[in-house]
Every structure is written in C-alpha cells, then in structure tokens.
Chain A
C-alpha cells in the first residue's frame, strides 16, 4: 500500500486526557468522523475490568465498538493504566505503537519497530514489551502538559507510517509534541527506519549539540537501541554573514521576504559505531524562529509553532480550514 497524503486531526478540544487519547486513537484507526490513516488495533487493556482484548474488527468504522462487554476503549471511559497497541497500515514492514493513559496528566508511549508485540498475556499494565522496544532509550516516553487535566486541544498529523501529536492549552508556549514513525529517504539497506521523539515538552526544533530527542533501533545490527538522534539544519556560510547567524532557521522574517519555506528536517544519529543519516521527517518541516509561537501560512495549509521565543519552529501540514 503506498503512502498517501497526511490525514489531519485538527485542534480537537477534549476535557480530559482520557477523552483525548481515545478520540485520536479512533482517528488513527479510521473509526472517526475525521478520515484517518487506517492504522489497526493489535490489543487493548481496560484496567477497571482488568481485561485485555483483541477486537473482532481491528480497523475502520466500528472497530472500537467491536470490543465486547464493558470495556473502556469501547465505552469511552478510559481510566489510568488503560493501554492500547496500534499497528501502522503500510501493508509491508510496519511498526506498532503502545499508548497508555498513565496518569490524569500524562500519556506514555513506546515504539515496537519489529511489530512483535505478543498478544494474550497477563491482564496487567504495563504489559510485557518486546525486547526490542524503543522510546526514551528502552523506556517509555512520557508526554505530559501542565494543566492538561483541565482540558486541552489535540492535533494529529498522520499517515500510514507516522504520527505527529500536538497537545496544547492556553498560554503562549504551553504546547507539547510527540513524533513517531518512519523517515523518508532512508539508506537503501535500512528496512525499518522508525524513530521516536523522546522530548515532548520541547516543542521546538532546538539547535543544540546536546539535544538528542530521537531514538531508534540501530540499522546496523537491528538490535542496539541508539539514542543520540538529532536534527541537521540548513546552513549557509558563516563568517560575516548578514544578521549574525548562518543557520537558516534562525534568521528572522526579513530573510524570508516574509514567507515561510518548507525546510526538510534531516535526522542524524551520532551514536558510536552507529553514526548515520537516518532520513528526513515526513510530513514535518522546520520553520524559522520568527514565525511567532503559533501561526499559519498558505491558506491554512501549514501550521507553525514553537515553545519559546527565538527557537526554530515546527511546521506541520494542516487541513486548510481550521484556525490555529
């Protein structure tokens, strides 16, 4: 199945994280009024009834309703410790994503790049993960946001093999980001170019030699978890460059003629013996740091945001309709 254009779940308000999680999961499996990318359910767990289930319909309309009996994922009654495992929808080499409603203010997730989650185990939270799971290293990524339990806006940009999750509340920089998925243009021998962002609270593409938010399984031995994944940015000549900066994303609007280009984000891993250029983020771009903390460009074709002044922004495709 070929990749299709990103599907957009734009700025949906939910009063609790549980409602938000269940709703964007419905979007991911295309069981929602908003067309999703068609991922599928591998298995889910309801901590109240202490039951894990595989639904009879794993994707599309009615999938969540096909869980049986009283079950939080069916009934939209998630409580903490509930979890679900989803699988992507490319039809070939795929990955799985574990999502857990960890606390009232935090979501946890981890990537199974070998799509080898074992169903049918003990009804516990968390379940036993595959040995080659990757999140923040080998641990889960914790995605939280201040006051998220008071209601927040959830946005997802996803296709058959990637998901960008943006959660924000009121306040200038109260925003967080998750990213998991396959990169575009990997090396030919890299058959599972799946990465996961481990720093949701850093909602900008910060330029730093020590900010290494990407993790993955090494493409060399398909076993080692490598954690020194960082961005590469476009740069022009340095010394004497007008404006005092040579990193393009650090230049203000006068350097752009007040338009925002789409700069691909290259992901580079610098782990010893595993140095490599992994590829580019798909459906995600870098924007300059003066785009304002939240803005749009084009005819609402893209959104731009950052979690701080003077830091390079994220750019994500948008639906052309919804305000940002």
Chain B
C-alpha cells in the first residue's frame, strides 16, 4: 500500500528556489517534511559542468565538492533523475527534471527505469529511447512568487504551482504509477503532457494528453516499445432523464447535500492497436466544476484547483488535512 506524502502550499520566490526542495522532498531529504523515499540516480550541475551519482541515493548531501543539488544552488540547465520507491520486485520508473530556464522546467518519464549514468556532462544528456514523451513536457509560467505543492508516494508524484486564485501562472503535472492497472501491465506509468491545463477536459474531446509507453509490447527494459499519445481522462457519467452529464461537471446533485467529494479519474488510451483502460490516478482526483477555482474540502483532506470558468472539472489532490488552500498571504 502506497503512503501519500505532502509538500503542501509552500511559497517560493522562483522555480530555482523550489528545485532543491522538490528533489529533496521526493528523496525524503528535506527537513520538516517526510517524503516518499524516491532515490537519486544521477544529477548534473551546469555551473561546474559535472554530472554525479551520489554515494548515498537518498542523501542529497552525498554529492561531492561544489555541486548545485547539494548546495541548494540549482541553476539554469541543471538536471536530475530520480527513481521511484515501489520496491517489492516491481519495476521502478524514473523521472527526469531539467531547469530549462529560470521560469521553465522540463519533465520526462523514464518508464522502464533504464537511465544510463556516466555519460557526457552536458545539459541535454542522452536519454533512454523509450522516455515519455519523446519530446519533453515543458512547465512554464514560474515568473513570480508562487505556491508550490506536491502529493507523492512511492510510485507517483503530482505537482502544482499557482497563485492560489487566478487563472494565470499555474501548471500541474502527474508522473508515475496508476492504481488498478491490468495485472499484466509491468510498467503502468503515465505522464500528463499539458501542464498549463489545470483542469480536466470533461467535454467531448476526441484526443487526450496523457502519455505512456505501450502496455502491449513492452516486457523488458530493452524493448523498444510504442509511444502512446492519446490518453484521455475517464470520468463518471450519468444518464438521467434521457440526457447525460458528467458527475463532476454538471450533475449538481453532488452539492445538494451541502457536501462534496472527490471523484476517481481513470486513464484510457485509445491509440490504435493499444486501446486499453490503463488504471486510475492515485492521490489525484477530479472536483466538481461548481466548486469554483480553488479551495479545500473534507477538513483539508482534499485540495482542488480549476483554471476554467466553464464546465470543466477541477484537479483535486489528496491533501494533508491541515493546510488551507490558498494560504494567506502568498
């Protein structure tokens, strides 16, 4: 059973201020926060033009010499690769982060956990052929002081930054394992490819923005695999009085008892020859669009954020049951 961990609503002046916290939280090496225990595979410091594998995979301070990830001086073009902590013989995934600029972070999923260490010390290292997506996911908008939040466990993380109450300068991403995947799916890892959309498209979009390596033709890390590019959110849909409605969009019944609830989000891939229901997001849900743009519910058990003013459902994180969102002031 995965254990969720929270880095809830921390204010940072910039992306680069946040970068060290992000990595340290995931590897459980951040004072005052308990992280999910991912491990460090390798990191690169552009200032010293050095890539290192630390002596302790869970200790950021075990990098040697002057090194940005150790010294909390992460800068532009620095990158790091972290690995999940599922254990138990389960295939691990890895995540690649690169600070492409002071306001832009690139993220990719290494679904087969086959990052090769020790290559050239460059800011765009050689990556596994099966990295997802093949083009980087770019998170932009880190231009002003923002609120940074993470929910993560041994196999996944979701990250949100925003201003708490506006529709600009906001982005989110989900990387990692799905819940309830098919038993034969050895690498049930996905990545959200549209970070600037802080909501779910509960309309009728025919294309999706979830990415993964095919569950059908990958059985071992050396397989080439097929990139799947049409992963869609699946949401509960109810037919009442002969018309249908998504329960997290227009079925306001969810609100009639003066209470609300999170809704599970399934991920369905419709790529030809690879169509399948991949599983459910873990620790991340959808929230009814009528809740508005931001808030918490259930005694701060859930936090939601929605950058749309129309009928799209909001994203919803499992939360720490303590921290209000948005915090005041930011």
Interface residues of A (CB under 8 A from B): 185, 187-190, 207-210, 219-220, 228, 230-243, 246-248, 251, 254-257, 259, 261-264, 266, 268-270, 273-277, 298
Residue of B nearest to A265 (CB): B236
Report whether A255 and B259 are in contact in the complex, using a CB–CB cutoff of 8 Å. no
* Segment of B48-56, B156-164, B243-251 engaged in the interface with chain A: B243-251
Chain A residue with the shortest CB-CB distance to B301: A188
Q: Is B205 an interface residue (CB 8 A)?
A: yes
Can you name 12 extra interface pairs (CB under 8 A) apart from A257-B274, A277-B261? A189-B259, A209-B243, A209-B244, A235-B237, A236-B233, A237-B203, A241-B270, A247-B237, A248-B277, A263-B277, A275-B253, A277-B247
Task: Tell yes or no: B294 within 8 A of A by CB.
Answer: no
A251 to B208, CA, bound (A): 18
- Do A230 and B239 touch across chains, with their CB atoms under 8 A apart? yes
**In the docked arrangement, what's the CA distance between A246 and B44, Å?**
44
- A237 touching B204 by the CB < 8 A rule? yes
Instruction: Give the interface size bracket for B toward A.
Output: 35 or more
* A261 and B233 within 8 A (CB): no
In angstroms, Cα B201 to Cα A237, docked, is 8
Residues of B within 8 Å of A243, CB to CB, are: 275
- Taking a contact as CB atoms under 8 Å apart, the answer to whether A268 and B257 are in contact is no
Residues of A within 8 A of B242 (CB): 209-210
**In the complex, B1 has a CB within 8 A of chain A:** no
A268→B266 contact, CB < 8 A: no
Query: Contacts A188-B259, A209-B241: A275 and B251 contacting too (C-beta < 8 A)?
Result: yes
**Contact assessment for A268 and B247 in the assembled complex, using a CB-CB cutoff below 8 Å:** yes
CA distance A157 to B232 in the complex (A): 33
Residue ID in chain B nearest A188 by CB atoms: B259
Interface of A is mostly: loop
The answer to whether A259 and B182 touch across the interface, beta carbons within 8 angstroms, is yes
Q: Could you list some 27 contacts between A and B, CB below 8 A?
A: A188-B298, A189-B257, A210-B242, A231-B238, A232-B236, A232-B247, A235-B236, A236-B233, A237-B201, A237-B203, A237-B204, A237-B205, A242-B270, A256-B277, A257-B184, A257-B275, A261-B182, A263-B277, A264-B264, A266-B236, A268-B251, A270-B240, A273-B256, A274-B256, A276-B254, A277-B247, A277-B251
Contact B238 A251, beta carbon cutoff 8 Å: no
**Min CB–CB distance B240 → chain A (angstroms):** 4
Q: How far is the CA of A275 from the CA of B279 in the complex (A)?
A: 28
Rounded to whole angstroms, the CA-CA distance of A241 and B259 in the bound complex is 34
Question: Contacts A248-B268, A248-B277 given: A232-B237 contact, CB under 8 Å?
Answer: yes
| Residue numbers in A under 8 Å from B272 (CB-CB) | 242
Contacts of B256 in A (CB 8 A): 273-276
**Contact present for A261 and B237 (CB under 8 Å):** no
Chain B nearest CB from A173 CB (Å) reads 23
Residue of B nearest to A241 (CB): B206
Chain A nearest CB, measured from B325 CB (Å): 19
| B136 on the A face (CB < 8 A) | no
| Nearest CB in chain B: distance from A123 CB, A | 42
Q: Which of A228, A237, A275 is packed against the most chain B CB atoms within 10 Å?
A: A237
- Neighbour of B253 across the interface among A259, A277, A298, CB < 8 A: A277
**Which of B232, B239, B274 is close to A208, meaning CB atoms less than 8 Å apart?**
B239
**Residues in B255-286 with C-beta less than 8 Å from chain A:** 256-259, 261, 264, 266, 268, 270, 272, 274-277, 279
Most buried by B among A190, A219, A236, A248: A236
Q: Kindly report which residue of chain B lies nearest to residue A255, judged by CB atoms.
A: B275
